[in-house]
Structure 1
Amino acid sequence: MTTPPARYQDLADDLVQRVTRRPSTLSPLLRGLDACAIAQHYHVPLPTAQFVRRAALTRLRRRAVRARRSPADDANGGGRGATSPVLCATPSRAPHETVADDLRARIGRGEFQGALPSRLRLSTQYRVSQFIVSRAVNLLAAEGLLLPQGAAGTFVRPATARGARPSAT
């Protein structure tokens, strides 16, 4: 009777342990974590080796993020957004509030006039999801800084009109 093959997560855990314990002895596996080398080393089919590679890379990335995280991040909610340059400055705040603060400052400096860049472009700049950008834009629209115009886009309200909020009629 043969034993069932190990799950790919178990193989990924083993690979990560081997890589972090003795990186010099596993040079073929370390060269980009080659799926073919993983398949040969663990005697598994190539598709399984590809899953093992992806899972091992994810685990290694998580370890790297945890190693970069400061003790202050742990005290402020686990370092949410620790890889984003905008969000790691204020880890205790919600991401959409941090993006809204930066957009508010940029509007105040006059960087945006007329149409605001697309949500996709802003999400790329801030390294957050489009949903987070949408929440930030909605927050600024509620404050009267932005004027959403549906498919036409979102526009920066002129400084003279910012004091007057739109009527709710």
Structure 2
Amino acid sequence: MVTAAILGAIWILFPGGIPEVDLLLIPGSQDDMAGENISLTEPSSMLKLLPVPPNGWSLDNSTGSYADNYPQPFTFACGNYTKKSGNGTVNVLIYDSGGKGIIWNSIFNTGFIYDNADGHARTYFYKDLPAWETAKYGPGGNVYSMHIKLDERFGIAITLKNATDSSSLREFADRINIYGIRALGK
């Protein structure tokens, strides 16, 4: 389930196919804090910072774990939410990359942008923090994804499925304690 959330966040970023890169580490990227020995945040600490669901949504389950079977280990907490009326779902992923250039951190250096009948990808700033958003449009409901880069270590990925617009991305993002997450690394 958690691996599916991670792969889903990667898929929504590259709906036409995954480019020829190491998906979870891009060596030499600006974000790769090579040589630094950084202890990753305990998943249980990040779980406490998952957002309280907005009105009309419920938190179904949450989990946290170490992802150590990738080129660079990272820790994360994931919350799965459902809309009480309808079939919309939201997954919120908070991660600590340890300062390594895993894909979510590295995407800001790629310039990956598109906008067509199938969806869009764009970069922007959310509360003065670098962010990107993607969308894949479909007859059964659209899929939207938002990533917020909090600093060189921490980030948030939010995926919204079966939606008519992306407004719930910001609704969930607004409920996340960004400063509390960043303080975990101090």
Task: Indicate the TM-score class for this superposition, using the shorter chain for normalisation.
Answer: under 0.3
Higher strand share: 2
Q: TM-score, normalised by structure 1?
A: 0.22
Q: TM-score, normalised by structure 2?
A: 0.21
Higher helix share: 1
Give 1 or 2 for the bigger CA radius of gyration. 1
